[in-house]
Every structure is written in structure tokens, then in C-alpha cells.
Amino acid sequence: MTAVLFDFSGTLFRVESTESWLRAVLSESGHPLPEPELKATADALEAAGALPGGASPVRLPQDLAEVWAVRDESAQLHRAAYTGVSRRVPLPDPRLHDALYERHMTPAAWAPYPDAAEVLRTLRERGIGVGVVSNIGWDLRPVFRAHGLDRYVDAYVLSYEHGVQKPDPRLFSVACAALGADPRQVVMVGDSKEADGGAAALGCRVHFVEHLPVADRPDALLPVLDLVG
């Protein structure tokens, strides 16, 4: 294998909990809520699927179904989809829905999995190309820089920058080309069989990890090092 492609959310990084997300925004905006109400609101936001990188909607509103299906194809669609489901949950100030969306794009909202740095560093040492292929509506590069992992990434291929989202093989093809790698000599690592599994159409080997909290998944990325030899 000459290169490894990684998904972002649920693979290399995990977003903060919905409660932490809401708590941070309420604190920064000066809109405190009584603790029981805060927790109930966080639960409602989670059920709505309002946190990008978090849980999927329990029930997607019909009027948002069309935009939700293509939300990762542009920054505008991504914001519209997630603030759209967020607005189903009452907040003390309507402007908080946009503040929540802004919060999730900050490095503080994301934590790398414990073994991410070791795996990326080892791949670099072995001369293996590394790409990040993500269905996303914003620039995640600052997250990698803030956590000291940008130095190990050779290429970022983000759906909103190409107007194509996984599992479309075209996105993986762009990543392989950016790394100068034959897809048949590439491993795609991700947490979604539906989205990340699209790389198999090009001949890539696909390796899946579970989308778990950071504390519950200390070493799931380490087997990737065995796959590349």
C-alpha cells in the first residue's frame, strides 16, 4: 500500500457531546439556562440531529429531507440543513442556532482519538501518503493545525469544495490523484460503511472503525499500520 485515506468525524476526530456544545454556546452568549432545562434542551437537539458529527436525526422533518440528502455538497447547504433541524428546538434567543453552528467549526469542539497522532506520524515516517476525505460543509484544516496533526496530512479532499459527497467514487478518485497513488494500493479508513465504503468501487481496500466517544476507543486505528506493512 502506498497511501491511506482517512475520514474525519468519527475516524480521526470526535466532536464534543451535544450537552458540552450547548453549554459552551450558552456560556459565551450570556444565556444561562437552569440545569434541568439545559439538559432537556441538549437531549432535544441531539434527537433533532442538530450537531454536525453527532447523532443523526431521530425523525427528519419532511421539508428538510431534500437539503439533508445533499447537505455536504456546499457550505450553504450544510448550514441550511443543520440550522434547519436545530431551529425545531426552542432556544432563549433565535441567534443561538447560528452560534451553535459556528461553535461546531472551532477546534475546541473536536478531540482527536488517542491513537490518531501515533498512526499518522508512523505513516509519515514510513513514506506512506496520507489524505483526509470528508463529507463536510466547512474547512477542517484549522482543526488539524490546532491539534498538531496537519503536519502529517498530504492532501485534504472535502466534499463541499468539490460539490461531490461520499460514497461517490469521484471524491476518492480526487484524493488518490492528489497523492499520486493507484487506488488499488490505497486503504480507505472510515466509520461509515455506506459513505466510506464507496472507495471500494475504485479498488481501494476499506477498513472500518466504530464511531465511539474518544475515551471508549483508544486504539482502533492502530491496525491500519499492519495493513500498509
Looking at residue 168, its pLDDT comes to: 98
Please check the confidence at residue 47 and state whether its pLDDT lies above 90.
Answer: yes
Residues 103, 170, single domain; the answer is: no
Domains contained in the chain, number: 2
Residue 40 belongs to domain spanning = 16-108
Q: Are residues 101 and 129 in the same domain?
A: no
Q: Are 102 and 108 in contact (CB under 8 A)?
A: no
Query: What percent of the chain is predicted at pLDDT more than 70?
Result: 100
Res 115: pLDDT: 98
At residue 132, the 3 state secondary structure works out as: strand
- What are the grid coordinates assigned to 221, written together? 486505528
Residues 42 and 140 in one domain: no
Q: How far is CA 91 from the centre of its chain?
A: 25
8 phi, psi to nearest 5 deg: -95, -75
- Tell me the mean pLDDT in the region 140-160: 98
**Helices 35-48 and 18-29: crossing angle, nearest 10°?**
120
Q: Does residue 8 sit in the same domain as residue 119?
A: yes
Q: Domain ends where: 80, 108, 136?
A: 108
pLDDT band with cut points at 50, 70 and 90 for residue 229 = confident
133 and 58 fall within a common domain: no
117 and 173 co-located in one domain: yes
Residue ending a domain, choose from 72, 91, 108: 108
State whether 223 and 142 are in the same domain: yes
* Average pLDDT, integer, range 113-139: 98
Boundary of a domain, candidates 63, 85, 108: 108
